[in-house]
Amino acid sequence: MMLPLAACAAPVRKVSESSLRNATARAATEEMRGVGYTIKRGMRCRTLSADAMSVVRVQCSGRTTLEEPVRVDAVAYDANAAHPRQEFVIKVSGREVVRTRCLGQGCQDRP
C-alpha cells in the first residue's frame, strides 16, 4: 500500500533498515567463512533504535559450528545520503575478528 507524502515529510533513507539487516546477515556469514569460521543455521538480525534519520544500526547474532557465539554490529551513517558510510564489527566469543567498512564478496573498500 502506498501512502501519500506531504511536502514536509521526513527525508527518505537510502539505506533502509531491512536492506541493512538482510545484507549484513548474508555478508557476515560469507566474511566469517573467509576468516575460518562457519556459521551454523545463519544469522538472526534486528534493527536497533536509530539515533537519527541519518543513522541505521543493526545487530546480528549466531553461532559457529563449534558453538561459539557470534555478534555482528553494523551501522550506516549518512543513511539518507547518496553515499552512506558503513562500519561492521564481528566478534566471536567476545573477541573482535573483523572490523571493516564493507563485507563479503566484491568488497572494494578494504584498508
For the chain, what are the domain ranges?
17-100
Question: Once rounded to an integer, what is the mean pLDDT over residues 26-46?
Answer: 91
Report the pLDDT value the prediction gives residue 1, as an integer from 0 to 100: 38
Question: C-alpha angle with apex 20: 49 to 79, nearest 5 degrees?
Answer: 70
Report the pLDDT value the prediction gives residue 44, as an integer from 0 to 100: 93
Residue 7 clears pLDDT 60, i.e. is over it: no
Report the pLDDT value the prediction gives residue 111, as an integer from 0 to 100: 46
Question: Which residues make Cβ contacts (< 8 Å) with residue 27, sequence separation at least 6?
Answer: 88, 103, 104
User: Is residue 100 within 8 Å of residue 88, measured between CB atoms?
Assistant: yes
- What is the overall mean pLDDT for the chain? 80
